[in-house]
Copies of this chain bind each other. A is one copy, B any other.
């Protein structure tokens, strides 16, 4: 069932008292990555809500909010095939009030800690994670799920959402699901739609860099600078590297040496499309 209003959702939710409710928060343009979250939610929960909301407050002014792919009809069909109980697709006005300027002058925000934000994607996407945490908490409060499902693809996001849940005592359990990849190794992303066929070929460099670092680590290299330098073989002038970092996967702290708690994270522009990917060094 497709719902657009918070009130209707809450009315329906009331009938689910005592049942295990799962939420899969998405920005739509659903692909196999999202479907893996939905399948996991269906396995774990009695009722599943998928939210489809391109959240304006997590996009910077120079980012792709307007052109972000919106495919609600198709998303709804996919969700129904998976047995999703409610697709919740509110408008920005429904979520933030009409006529509100969307800023911290007029709206209450949830602000994750600087230590977690001021690195990786947060460095270039100023305010992004404030917008993410704010909308995620709103969705949690609206849907009141027992479980919420997030993909490891957005690794910094999952760490920050888990931290928010802990810090604010949010009564929701976060379930993290692995990255889904094309056979080529390319991590699925709604933004892959922006790439040409050639661009998709070039984009394989991201997963190759990550896998190469992992196999170097498996062969005994733990020096972080050395591991990172192995990437430069792959990065020609077609790539605009934003970051390549090896950090503690739970705390996003820098490490002296790579170990089984390490995650390798990369962000890189290909054909001016910003792509991210990551891998755990432990299997």
List the interface of chain A (C-beta within 8 A of B): 6, 10, 17-18, 104-115, 133-134, 137-138, 141-142, 144, 163-164, 167-171
Q: How far is the CB of A4 from chain B (nearest CB, A)?
A: 15
Q: How far is the CB of A5 from chain B (nearest CB, A)?
A: 12
A114 touching B104, Cβ below 8 Å: yes
Q: Which residues of B contact A113 (CB under 8 A)?
A: 104-108
Q: Which residues of B contact A105 (CB under 8 A)?
A: 113-115
Number of copies: 2
B133 touching A108, Cβ below 8 Å: yes
- Nearest to A143 among chain B residues (CB) is B169
- Give the docked Cα–Cα distance between A137 and B114 (Å): 20
B107 touching A108, Cβ below 8 Å: no
Q: How far is the CB of A166 from chain B (nearest CB, A)?
A: 8
Q: How far is the CB of A105 from chain B (nearest CB, A)?
A: 5
Q: Which residues of B contact A108 (CB under 8 A)?
A: 110-113, 133, 163-164, 167-168
- Give the docked Cα–Cα distance between A79 and B176 (Å): 42
A110's partner among B10, B17, B18, B110 (CB-CB below 8 A) is: B110
Q: Which residues of B contact A107 (CB under 8 A)?
A: 113, 167
A111's partner among B6, B111, B168 (CB-CB below 8 A) is: B111
Q: Which residues of B contact A112 (CB under 8 A)?
A: 108
- Give the docked Cα–Cα distance between A163 and B106 (Å): 10
Instruction: Kindly name the residue among A115, A163, A167 whose own CB sees the greatest number of chain B CB atoms within 10 A.
Output: A167
A138's partner among B18, B115, B142, B169 (CB-CB below 8 A) is: B169
A110 touching B6, Cβ below 8 Å: no
- Give the docked Cα–Cα distance between A164 and B108 (Å): 6
- Give the docked Cα–Cα distance between A10 and B169 (Å): 11
A168 touching B138, Cβ below 8 Å: yes
